């Protein structure tokens, strides 16, 4: 379990920027979808809250591992 936490910490520097990107994407998607369907402001806020919460879970859980894999792949390709 310690190796998993260490691997997550190596890629954790990408999380703050990714959370901001998720906020922008979730806001654009919720507002656009709400406007196209003619939803109320409360419905748009609910979609934004649920969508952003789900996106945050994915960013915090997966992005550090993906960033670590990308960094190691880039290091291997630069060695050749």
Is residue 31 predicted with pLDDT exceeding 70? yes
Cβ–Cβ under 8 Å, residues 2 and 62 = no
Q: pLDDT tens-digit profile of 35-64?
A: 999 989 999 999 999 999 999 999 999 988
Q: Look at residue 59 and tell me if it is in a domain.
A: yes
In a domain, 20, yes or no: no
**With 70 as the cut, is the pLDDT of residue 75 above it?**
yes
Whether pLDDT at 80 is above 70: no
15 located within any domain: no
Give the mean pLDDT of 13-39. Answer: 92
Residue 3 in domain: no
Kindly state whether residue 9 falls inside one of the protein's structural domains.
no
Output DSSP code: residue 42. H
Reported as a pLDDT band with limits 50, 70 and 90, residue 73 is: confident
Q: In 1-33, which positions are buried (b, 16+ CB within 10 angstroms) versus exposed (e)? A: eeeeeeebeebeebbeebeeebeeebeeebeee
- Report pTM: 0.75
Q: Is residue 30 domain-resident?
A: yes
Q: What domain range includes position 46?
A: 26-72
**Using CA atoms in the order 73, 18, 48, 56, what is the torsion angle rounded to 10 degrees?**
70
Rounded to whole angstroms, how far apart are CA atoms 30 and 34?
6
């Amino acid at each position: 379990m310690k190796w998993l936490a260490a691997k997550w910490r190596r890629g954790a520097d990408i999380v703050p920027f990714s959370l901001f990107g998720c906020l922008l994407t979730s806001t654009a998607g919720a507002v656009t979808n709400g406007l196209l369907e003619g939803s109320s402001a409360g419905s748009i806020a609910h979609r934004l809250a649920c969508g952003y919460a789900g996106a945050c879970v994915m960013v915090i859980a997966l992005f550090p591992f993906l960033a670590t894999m990308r960094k190691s792949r880039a290091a291997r390709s630069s060695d050749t």
